[in-house]
């Protein structure tokens, strides 16, 4: 009997939860705020759905689904750029002291 592809996706999902569990426990507590901002940024990978919606064909006209797609692209883009840049900014602050310490 063939296995439903859903089962494969479910397996990926469960294993990813476990990976997330172990990886996140190893995050140092002083970086918990950057952890939140970076998880926020990566959850904007939902933009892949927004892209499909933006390009769903509708005989040449811009459809309702396309408009929703574009709006979702804007929201996801705010998160992607905002999330990664603010994380970078925070991590940069942790770096300055490293240098000072080495002097």
Residues from 1 through 20 that contact other proteins (CB under 8 A):
5-6, 9, 12-14, 16-17, 19-20
Q: Which of 1, 3, 93, 103 binds other proteins (CB under 8 A)?
A: 93
Residues in contact with other proteins, counted by CB under 8 A, come to a total of 86
Residues 6+ apart with CB under 8 A from 76: 44, 46, 47, 50
Q: Is 100 in the site for other proteins (CB under 8 A)?
A: yes
Of 1 and 31, nearer to other proteins (C-beta) is: 31
Indicate if the alpha-carbon torsion angle 25, 31, 32, 36 is positive or negative. Answer: negative
Q: What share of the chain is helix, strand, coil (3-state, %, to 5)?
A: 85, 0, 15
Of positions 2, 3, 97, 103, contacts other proteins by CB under 8 A: 97
Beta carbon of residue 3, minimum distance to other proteins (angstroms, whole number): 14
Cβ proximity to other proteins, 1 vs 30, nearer residue: 30
Residue 65: Cβ within 10 Å count:
15
> Which residues, 45 to 64, sit near other proteins by CB under 8 A?
45-58, 60, 62-64
Give whole-number Cα distances, 8 to 11, 23, 60, 83, in Å.
5, 22, 36, 30
């Amino acid at each position: 009997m063939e296995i439903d592809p859903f089962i494969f996706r479910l397996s990926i999902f469960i294993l990813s939860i476990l990976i997330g569990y172990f990886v996140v426990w190893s995050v140092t507590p002083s970086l918990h705020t950057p952890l939140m901002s970076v998880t926020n940024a990566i959850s904007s990978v939902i933009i892949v759905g927004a892209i499909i919606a933006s390009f769903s064909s509708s005989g040449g006209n811009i459809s309702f689904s396309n408009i929703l797609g574009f709006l979702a692209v804007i929201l996801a883009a705010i998160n992607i750029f905002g999330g990664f840049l603010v994380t970078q900014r925070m991590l940069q602050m942790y770096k300055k002291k490293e240098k000072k310490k080495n002097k």
